[in-house]
Each structure stands twice: as C-alpha cells, then as structure tokens.
Structure 1
Amino acid sequence: MRQLIVTEFMTLDGVIDSPGGGPHPQAGWTFKQVPFVEEAYEIKGREQLEATAMLIGRVSYDEFAPVWPRMDEFAEYNAMPKYVVSTTLENPEWNNTSVLRSIDEVAALKQGDGGNILVHGSATLAKGLAAAGLVDRYHLLVFPVLLGTGRRLFDDSVDTLQTLDLIEHEAYSNGVVKAVYDVVR
C-alpha cells in the first residue's frame, strides 16, 4: 500500500491559502513576510525525490498547471504521474495527468503499487482524505505569520478525530518550524 502524505505551507493560525500567490489578499506570505532560509525548504526537495505521484484538487490544478511545467525546480513533479480529484475537469493538459472522480478512486490508487503520493495545496481535498482515513502523514512548514482568514487545513468543516505522532521537527532562524506527523492508526 502506498503512503499518502499531505504537505503544506501553513501560517501559525492554520491558513494554507495562497502561500506563493493566488486569490488571498495576502498571497505570497511565505516569501513576502518571512525571510528566506534555504535549509527550511530541505523537506520540499526531499519530498519531490521520494514521491512517485502527486495528488491535487481542481483548484490547485488550475493554479499549478499553468506555472509548474515551466519551472526547472519542479522537474520531478512535472515528469511523475499526477492525479486531479475533480468531477468537472476534462482532458487535463499538464503532462502525465489523470482525473479521479471520487475519494473511492483515491483509495484504490493508494492500494496499488508504488511509492509516496503527495497532496499539495488542496485544502478541501486534504480534509476529505483525512475524513476518509486515507492520510498517513502530514509534512507541515509552519510560518510565523497570522492571516486570520483564508482556507485552512484543519477547521470545523470536517468532524474527524486523528491522533498524530511527531516523527521529525526542526525550527529555523527565520521562525519557520518543520513538523512531520504520522497518523496513528
């Protein structure tokens, strides 16, 4: 069985909305509000090398697909299989992308052979995956920023109790904290 990992940039108040750009009024808060410290992003390079597939929701697909294929730092992501959970997307144009129509199809993908499946962005999808008991691990980079509003990874829209086991953590000079949690089953 494959491991499903939700990976997020998150503010201290839990917002994951528009960390690099997007519709949030404070879009780009990861680089506009917090000094860049290279070692804080080590986990992102490691994720890309260890993953064998990427899973995203429709909104994240619409944001990533026009940009990521032109970025050399995402070469592994661009080459690997990508899956978009959507009931409306037809004929995705991003290289090696398939559409899954339901959480049940994600569960079937997870049961197959292969390595880690990374979920980027996609707050609504991540909540649905957590509610279905499909998330195995969370990779969080928590930024010392409070936004107050925006899409959150953890909120009261899904009633799901999960116990987590902290397996890796580190604090960086810019105030970013890495926290890697396994879901306890």
Structure 2
Amino acid sequence: MTRELVWTGFVSVDGVMDSPGGPSEGHAGGGWVFRTDFDEASFSLKGEELADTSALLFGRRSYEAFAPIWSRSEDHAAYQDLPKYVVSSSLDEASLVDGWGETTILRSVGDVAALKETEGGGIFVHGSGELTRGLAAAGLVDRYNLLVFPVLLGDGKSVFGREHQGEQRLALRESAAYGNGVLKAVYDVVR
C-alpha cells in the first residue's frame, strides 16, 4: 500500500495560494490570510491534520521560507520530530536548518514516488506550489486539504496548473463553512 500524499494550504476563491511573506516573496497580494477576520474554528483543519501527518514534504523555496520559522515556533512544535523531505536539484546539506529534526533532500519527482512506496503514514506538502503541480501531473497527489478564503486576487501563484493536462476528478471527503467566510474543502483525487 502506498503512502497518501496530501497538499494542504490556503487558497483564494480563484485558486491563488497565499504568500505569507507578501511582497517580499514577489507576490503583491500576499498576506491575505492575515487580512481575513480570525476565527479559530476555521483553522481546525490544521490541528486535525497532525493525526495523519507522518512526514512533511517541501519544495526548496517553501522549505527556505518555513523551516527557519517553524523550527522555533511553538505552534509548529508537533512537526519537530517528523521526518522532513525537500525536493530540490540545487539545495545542499549545508543549507538545511539545524535543530529541526531529520531532513532528507530528494532530487526528483521520481524520488517522491519512491518515498510514497515506503512504510509510513501520510506525507503532507505545505506551500510548494511548483512542486505540487509537478507531483499532480505525475499522478502522485492523493488529496487536497483546502481552506478557501473569501477573496478574489486575479493572479498569483496557484497550486493548480493553468496549462491543460486533462480533466482530473475530485471526490469531496469533508467540508465546512465558518463565520469569517472561510470554507474547508477536503478532496480525494479520483483515479
């Protein structure tokens, strides 16, 4: 049995991923999650995911953005001891964040496919839009855990490819709506 690969993240109604770093990451509209009224219940999915997460997977840029912060964050302490994987053709061992547990560099989508064939539970991808598009095109994404925010941005980075790759059907596993307009939508990829 293969391990489940799950992309989890915040998206706008028009499918744009948030860039918490905002303009400093090259996304003029970034930071919109923080401009949405806070409702603790709307983030409950993040806590629920911990029970299913046995490993974290990142693209290089997302790793470089998250690792220095999450490695010291009490909110992300549960990630400390989880194995972490970074897919990058250029990152080297010396660039990994010290003190954040076991981290392995993978060099290709093929390496991710091999990781999915190992023993263990869910592998969760945070951010990493470019990586996730490649994983989806290779048929490796099994589920999308989306928190959809009530904002339209028009352009920006999307976890979903804009080029035509054929229809991909999704099956709704779970959904909820929250008072701040955020929607939880958990979709399984139909094969």
> TM-score, normalised to structure 1's length?
0.94
- Structure 2 partner of 1:2: 3
Shift of residue 78, structure 1, vs aligned partner: 2.2
**Structure 1: tracts of 5 or more residues without a match:** none
- Structure 1 partner of 2:68: 66
Q: Does residue 93 of structure 1 match 2:97?
A: yes
Q: Does residue 25 of structure 1 match 2:28?
A: yes
- Structure 2 partner of 1:129: 135
Shift of residue 154, structure 1, vs aligned partner: 1.6
The amino acid that maps onto 1:89 is L
The amino acid that maps onto 1:21 is G
Shift of residue 158, structure 1, vs aligned partner: 5.8
Cα distance in 2, alignment partners of residues 101 and 13 from structure 1: 31
Cα distance in 2, alignment partners of residues 118 and 158 from structure 1: 25
Verify the 8 A CA contact 1:5 1:119 in the aligned structure 2.
Answer: yes
Cα distance in 2, alignment partners of residues 165 and 27 from structure 1: 29
Structure 1 residue runs of 4 or more that deviate by more than 6 Å after TM superposition = none
Verify the 8 A CA contact 1:9 1:141 in the aligned structure 2.
Answer: yes
Aligned residues: 183
Q: 1:45 to 1:158 in 2, by over 3 A?
A: farther
Q: Does residue 104 of structure 1 match 2:107?
A: no
Helix, strand or coil at the partner of 2:71? helix
- Structure 2 partner of 1:38: 40
RMSD: 1.3
Shift of residue 48, structure 1, vs aligned partner: 2.2
Cα distance in 2, alignment partners of residues 80 and 154 from structure 1: 27
- After TM superposition, the structure 1 = structure 2 runs for residues 111-122 of structure 1, keeping only pairs within 5 Å, are 111-122=117-128
Helix, strand or coil at the partner of 1:44? helix
**Structure 2: tracts of 5 or more residues without a match:** none
Cα distance in 1, alignment partners of residues 103 and 189 from structure 2: 28
Q: 1:158 to 1:103 in 2, by over 3 A?
A: farther
Q: Does residue 13 of structure 1 match 2:17?
A: no
- Structure 1 partner of 2:80: 78
Shift of residue 21, structure 1, vs aligned partner: 2.2
Overall identity of the aligned pairs, in %: 52
Verify the 8 A CA contact 1:131 1:160 in the aligned structure 2.
Answer: no
Verify the 8 A CA contact 1:131 1:158 in the aligned structure 2.
Answer: no
- Structure 1 partner of 2:159: 153
Shift of residue 50, structure 1, vs aligned partner: 2.0
- Structure 2 partner of 1:48: 50
Shift of residue 157, structure 1, vs aligned partner: 3.6
Helix, strand or coil at the partner of 2:68? coil
Cα distance in 2, alignment partners of residues 86 and 136 from structure 1: 21
Verify the 8 A CA contact 1:83 1:100 in the aligned structure 2.
Answer: yes
The amino acid that maps onto 1:116 is G
